[in-house]
Amino acid sequence: MTAHVIMTTVLHSMGRALGRLVAALWLVLLPSACRNDAAPPASRPAPVPGEELRGRARPDPRLQDFYAPDTVQTVQLTISPADLRRMQAVLPERIYVPGSFRWNDITVEGVGIRYKGNSSSSPESPFKRSFLVRFDEFVDKARFLGLRRVALDNGIQFGGLYSEILILEVLADLGVPVPRANYARVYLNGEHMGVYVNVERIDESFLAHHFEDATGVLYEVDLGGPGADFAKIDGGDPWRYAAAFQPKTREETADFRDLAELLAVINDTAEDEIEAKLEQTLELEDFLWTTAVLLLAGAFDQYTGWQPHNFYLYRQPSTGRWSYIPWDLDVGFAPEAFGHIQVLAGWNAAYPLPVVPRPLLERICRNERLLERYRAKADHALERYFTPRRIEERVDALHELIEEDLASDPFPQGRVTAPTDRSHADAVAGIKEFAVARYAKARQELDEKRVSAPIRAEELAAAARRAGGRPSPGPGDRGPSPGEPSSEDPTDLRVVSLSDSRIELVWTSHAKDAAAHIVQRCEGEDNRRFDNHRPVFGPGPSSFTDEDVRGGAIYRYRVYAVFPQPDGQIRASGPCAPVTVRVPEH
């Protein structure tokens, strides 16, 4: 198995805790470092039943019912009492346990069920927990109506149970490929767990439904990291983007060169060519619509807003163009967040650049034609979808749809981000208030074509610290280091192949739960100051080939194991005994 297959397999399976670990590892290992704007475009054609072209799956007609707008589905989950206790006992870690999933007359046995999201991770949380159902977790190739996963979101963030649906339905109406969503009343072992947002998961099944060609690599940016802001990483090694961009499909073909090419276009293209080059490499119209809609909805936790994460990138091989797909949109319709993100005051509808560096948004805002294209879309979206009257009517309709089920919801009737909430009606009222203020401010900004100065990312991080938040690791973080000697330490490090251009090492691993092994290196026969050189992802791999060597040099190597912890920290084993290698002269 190749190193990149190992890495992407582990990334795929270990979720957010590993994402934090990967970001920390790569940070230390890097060197210093046209549609008509007057009306919404026509939606893309839905897949034709029976068509199996370029990775498309034959759609089950019942899937339209499962995601039908303005409906409340009934989903029944079954988990044994012992497994349910196990899920609770290991929090904040989120583990899959076996169970069953039932919708209408369809029951799928042997599915994997786990809690989903940070809001579901606290053992003491009184709020309802989100669920993720994975049909092929324990049974290979198992599906439900062609779906690999079903996500049931608790809707307890800023936008409550309404934000995600409000935003996604606007983007879908504009023809942007985004997840489908409605509501679900969820029962666990026969007990009513309340109302959830039933939102389509972005994975292989999503690609098959929404894209003509589903055979490309889908990348997720969950926690951010080097390159997540679309800035280039110096050094020329595309694998350096692995810290931020996790391949979720076609892992065996992901080598990050396509991402490096996209970022080169964004950062290096001459000003007089940037519009044409972006048209060739990016679904530009979709991205401009998405930028406008997320701004008007106050969905700040995105690349287009205040934090470069919670999105996917997908490049269709048949067109060569990338799509930006937003995810985790329950944070909209709030005027400020966490005491330091000024969603209303700091986000200009006529100049959508709240934070720098954001190279793609900077290119759009600096280019007169691109900025005017964006402004036309923002103006259209504001008047068609985000007038106070339209938002009020739509959120009232959604609330009425689930009001009866909310009355029997056994969990707190409010949002975790709004301690003063006394009922879900408070979330509805907050959305209406935001809509009035957002419309007035956006209308004035667009009319006057205002230009504003963005805040720098380091200033935002400082504000987060002052407000008590936890900013993401920065380039100065040193990453993991070996721990104390233990039974999990690697042993028997040795050289099995040597030439003037490569050194192949193997060792014996004793850490079955390790997320990775770190190969350390120093140069010189008497050198004892080891630096982290490369990670080897996964608990099983026990070999590494170093092709970054110089003929005639002397290198010393040692290896240790690392383990992600539920709180995002990293535990490390002790190092193995070092080996010294003299590279032959060329």
| Listed residue (524, 511, 494, 507) closest to 573, CA to CA | 511
pLDDT in tens, 504-524: 999 998 887 787 888 999 988
Residue 401 banded pLDDT, cuts 50, 70, 90 = very high
Question: Are 258 and 217 spatial neighbours (Cβ–Cβ below 8 Å)?
Answer: yes
- Pairing between β-strand 516-523 and β-strand 311-315 as defined by DSSP bridges: unpaired
240-294 confidence digits (pLDDT tens): 888 889 899 988 888 889 999 999 999 999 999 999 999 999 999 999 999 999 9
Partner residues linked to 185 by β-bridges: 74, 195
- The pairing of strands 72-79 and 322-326 is unpaired
Q: In the predicted model, is pLDDT for residue 394 greater than 60?
A: yes
Helix pair 368-385, 359-366: axis angle to 10 deg: 100
Q: Mean per-residue pLDDT for 327-343? A: 87
In whole angstroms, what is the distance from residue 204 CA to residue 250 CA? 9
CA 422 to chain centre: 31
The torsion angle over the Cα atoms of residues 381, 384, 386 and 387, rounded to 10 degrees, is 140
Please choose, from the candidates 540, 482, 484, the residue with its C-alpha nearest in 3D space to the C-alpha of residue 512: 540
Question: Cα separation of 246 and 221, whole Å?
Answer: 7
User: Tell me, what DSSP letter sits at residue 238?
Assistant: G
DSSP codes, 343-402: TTTT-BTTB---EE--HHHHHHHHSHHHHHHHHHHHHHHHHHH-SHHHHHHHHHHHHHHH
pLDDT at 333 over 50: yes
491-582: CATH class? mainly beta
Helix residue ranges per DSSP H, 120-178: 163-173
If phi > 0 it is left, if psi is from -120 to 50 it is alpha, else beta; for residue 44 that is beta
Looking at the whole model, is its pTM more than 0.75?
no
Domain-wise residue ranges, the chain: 62-206, 223-313+336-466, 491-582
Question: What stretches of 239-305 show up as alpha helix (H) in DSSP?
Answer: 257-268, 274-281, 284-296
